[in-house]
Amino acid sequence: MRKSSSGVWINQNDNEIVDMDHLWDSRSPNGKDFEKCTGFNAKDSKYFDTPCNSERCFVCSWKGTPVFTLRGLCTNTQVDEQFVMLPEKTVGGNVVFFGIGNGNIIFNQETGSWLIVMNKAKEIFEPGGISSDSLDVVGTFKPDRSDAHHLPVGTHFWNLTENCNKVLQLKLTQVRNKITLESIVKHAKS
């Protein structure tokens, strides 16, 4: 949300006025004309006012974003099972599958492989991106030449090095049942 010159809050996605009275945390809004944008606190599901030059992830921008499940992981892994595809966020021109808890799935141009990395989204999406040397890679899938530019969706053999330490057949599929992004976020908070 962004505060207009008339003092009302506007949703940047659809330019609609938003009644923020019941959405603020207990300390906000407190920035007067210095804090004309909002951030979202996932812990209490409330908004706070913030300067517009700070980068924040807005939950409302996830509406309609595809949610995926990674099936076939070993039981003692720390790798996420739930991912959100963020087409507006790219690394090296490729979409990112943002893990709801730990890690992400990204494409590495240098190796031509999809990677499961334990790096946080903040590190990956910094201006200039993250160098391949500083990636905490825990899984890899190298498509054959015919699949070189496809997403890692479907069933593929992944080499997992974190806890499992073996090649597993994993399946990344879009969630089509009653599981929603809201329920995944709610589960991740608990």
What is the spatial distance between Cα 123 and Cα 130, in angstroms, rounded to a whole number? 6
pLDDT at 118 over 80: yes
pLDDT at position 76: 82
pLDDT at position 178: 47
Q: How confident is the model at residue 30 (pLDDT cuts 50, 70, 90)?
A: confident
Edge-to-edge strand list for the sheet holding 2-3: 16-18, 9-11, 2-3, 37-41, 46-50
In the chain, domain spans? 2-60, 64-189
Percent above pLDDT 90 for the chain: 10
Q: Taking all residues of the chain, what is their mean pLDDT, rounded to a whole number? A: 75
Span 79-95, pLDDT tens digits: 888 888 776 666 665 67
CB distance 149 to 64 below 8 Å: no
pTM for this structure? 0.57
Q: How confident is the model at residue 177 (pLDDT cuts 50, 70, 90)?
A: very low
What is the spatial distance between Cα 9 and Cα 21, in angstroms, rounded to a whole number? 10
pLDDT at 140 over 90: yes
CB distance 79 to 70 below 8 Å: yes
List of E strands, 44-129: 46-50, 67-71, 82-91, 94-99, 104-108, 113-117
What is the spatial distance between Cα 137 and Cα 157, in angstroms, rounded to a whole number? 16
pLDDT at 35 over 80: yes
Q: Which amino acid is at 99?
A: G
What is the spatial distance between Cα 165 and Cα 140, in angstroms, rounded to a whole number? 11
pLDDT at 146 over 60: no
Q: Which amino acid is at 29?
A: P
**DSSP letter (8 states) at residue 51:** -
Cα-Cα-Cα-Cα torsion 177, 170, 101, 117, nearest 10 degrees, comes to -150
**DSSP letter (8 states) at residue 35:** -
Distances (CA, A) of 101 to 16, 61, 83, 184: 31, 18, 9, 10
